Amino acid sequence: MILPTLNEGPSIGRVIELLLEGDDSTDILVVDDASTDGTAAVVERLRGDRVDLIERPSKLGLGSAYLTGFSWALMRPYDAVVEMDSDLSHDPRDSARLVAALEHTDVVIGSRYVEGGRVENWGFFRRALSLSGNRYARALLGIDIADSTSGLRAYRAEWLRRADLASISSEGYSFQVEMAYRAVRRGARVVEIPIVFTERVAGRSKMSRTIVFEALVRIALWALRDRVLAPLRHRLVRP
């Protein structure tokens, strides 16, 4: 289990406790981006055989944190790698459902936007932004994924090893979209299972205009590269 943190002191301890209670085979890595609220100290008190911590010197970003976590996990004999938010927006007990679903697939996305999934305690604007972003990605990239921005997902370690993670540079929303898009383009089996997402009760959201703008631009560039320019080049070089 990879948990990225940036000032998640009020929630990270409870997240770890619920994960440890839920499955005695779950190991946890927290990747902390120089939190100033004591997040790392909370994790350090819980550190042990099943809980580890990587402290980074500055805010290096969500995508970078997950890539650091993936690298750490892939050096160990794990069959599955799970990513999850650290603010209790995701129910830690859902992680076991995602791992179980990996038995017949390569990537499992905890989805807010399939039947049975939902979002609680979001205002109209936040909900509309999330839905619009996912529909934008789905339309431009041609992927049949309802919630490509979801931060709760599980990967077969075997697939991650083939995913060329070193070539990924996205952050925020766009990191999650790029991972889903890459999985689809490389022939991975991807399924979505419903989850309930609950707005955080403590701390501040890391969403910003910069993150949204990055996602919009990157998605458009991927669509241009793969759905316009690549077919055009193929037609031009065809004998």
Please tell me the predicted confidence (pLDDT) of residue 238. Answer: 59
Please tell me the predicted confidence (pLDDT) of residue 44. Answer: 97
DSSP letter at 227? Answer: I
Low-confidence ranges of the chain (pLDDT < 70): 202-207, 237-239
Please tell me the predicted confidence (pLDDT) of residue 237. Answer: 64
Please tell me the predicted confidence (pLDDT) of residue 109. Answer: 98
Q: Which domains does the chain have, with CATH numbers?
A: 2-237 (3.90.550.10)
Cα dihedral sign, 130-134-139-144 = negative
Q: What is the pTM of this model?
A: 0.92
Please tell me the predicted confidence (pLDDT) of residue 28. Answer: 98
Please tell me the predicted confidence (pLDDT) of residue 230. Answer: 83
Please tell me the predicted confidence (pLDDT) of residue 2. Answer: 98
Convert the pLDDT of each residue in 159-208 to its tens digit: 999 999 999 989 877 999 999 999 999 999 999 999 999 987 766 666 67
Please tell me the predicted confidence (pLDDT) of residue 239. Answer: 55
Nearest to 136 by CA among 182, 89, 109, 174: 174
Please tell me the predicted confidence (pLDDT) of residue 209. Answer: 79
Please tell me the predicted confidence (pLDDT) of residue 23. Answer: 79
Among all chains, which residue has been given the structure tokens 């995701």? 90
Q: How many other C-beta atoms can be found within 10 angstroms of the C-beta atom of residue 73?
A: 21
Cα dihedral sign, 90-93-94-100 = positive
